[in-house]
Amino acid sequence: MEEIINAIKKSSIQIEEKVRRSALDGFQGNVNTDTINSSGDVQKKLDIITNEIMIDNLIKTKCCSILLSEENEEAIIIEDKEFRGNYMVAFDPLDGSSNIDCNVCIGTIFSIYKETDSKETDSKETDSSNLEKEILRNGSNIICAGYIIYGPATEMVITIEEKPGVQKYTLDTDKKEYIYTGEIDITNKTKQIYSINESNCENWFQDTKEYIDLYKRPNTKYTQRYIGSMVADVHRTLLYGGMFSYPADTKNKNGKLRVIYECFPIAKIMEKAGGAAIIGNFSRNRILDINPTEIHQRTPILIGKKEEIIKYIKSTRNILLNNCYKNNSNTNDDIYDLYENFEN
């Protein structure tokens, strides 16, 4: 795993230079109007460049068996025995790339998994059922998660399963190495910030509408901040406090953010930092408990300080209970089940 983390650090240093010089070296803009990635997003030139950097450096570690990139339609199976290892790495090489051309913070997100069966095989044939079992695991299997944010400073935030807490490192661009700059603990952060794209408010479902309404009431002292780059919005939330959400709505009924590449690693970091990460959309289920059925699956997400998540759970529970009481066909058992589902 240390070799893989070093490869990610090396990749991020190369990506940081590409990002910093993108306007000077002609790396801004789209590849062409017809090129989209596996998620249906228009590909930027830097999307392709950074994806190649990550894949190349990870394969060279000889520690990986499977690579999952948000930019690739299918999983990358490393079949050459000389380069094959026992770890799976999932990553979004450049999160928030739509903001590249306007010089807004963007980032790289990653997570590392150990193979469930670490036995090496002599055959280059990969059993499809075993492959699916390896790839489609829930977030509790992550042994390391992190992200790199490219902004006024380049910082790496990382957590390792067997070690407590979330650690932050800052890149010394002169020495091209990361320097430890402290632990992140969201529990002691006090700023009252809610982060959500309010331009979608007309499309929100009732749970999100009523929840966000709580932050707008007189004398709440909450302020709204939204950058539109997940890494940047989450980074601010971890360092300042509050919440971040990209909910389901009438246009995106399954949410917008990818489970494996974005939500799993961010949820892992948020929980290890003392916060919480749930699906929302009338559910208090943890993001990390999702069992993906496809590699580019999406999900609604609500993360932040536990107090903010509890606020959502209580608000949504009241909505469900009120709906039960309004509908005479519901029994007391139905109401009890709803209470149990949303009990803190």
Indicate the helix (H) or strand (E) that contains 224: strand 223-224
Catalytic residue among 46, 58, 67, 70: 70
Catalytic residue among 16, 67, 68, 71: 71
41 is catalytic: yes
Tell which CATH classification among 3.30.540.10, 3.30.70.260, 3.10.129.10, 3.40.50.300 matches the domain 2-183. Answer: 3.30.540.10
Could you report the per-residue pLDDT of 23-36, keeping only the tens digit for each? 787 777 776 655 55
94 is catalytic: yes
Could you report the per-residue pLDDT of 237-254, keeping only the tens digit for each? 999 999 999 999 999 999
Per-residue pLDDT for 179 more than 90? Answer: yes
CATH fold label, 188-342: D-Maltodextrin-Binding Protein; domain 2 (3.40.190)
Catalytic residue among 95, 249, 271, 308: 95
47 is catalytic: yes
CB distance 285 to 236 below 8 Å: no
Kindly report the pTM of this predicted structure: 0.89
262 is catalytic: yes
Could you report the per-residue pLDDT of 118-174, keeping only the tens digit for each? 444 444 445 667 888 889 999 999 999 999 999 999 999 999 999 999 999 999 999
Catalytic residue among 68, 94, 171, 302: 94
Measuring CA to CA, how many Å separate 206 from each of 210, 312, 338, 344?
Answer: 6, 12, 16, 21
Q: Name the residue ranges covered by the structural domains of the chain.
A: 2-183, 188-342
Indicate the helix (H) or strand (E) that contains 144: strand 142-150
Catalytic residue among 262, 271, 302, 338: 262
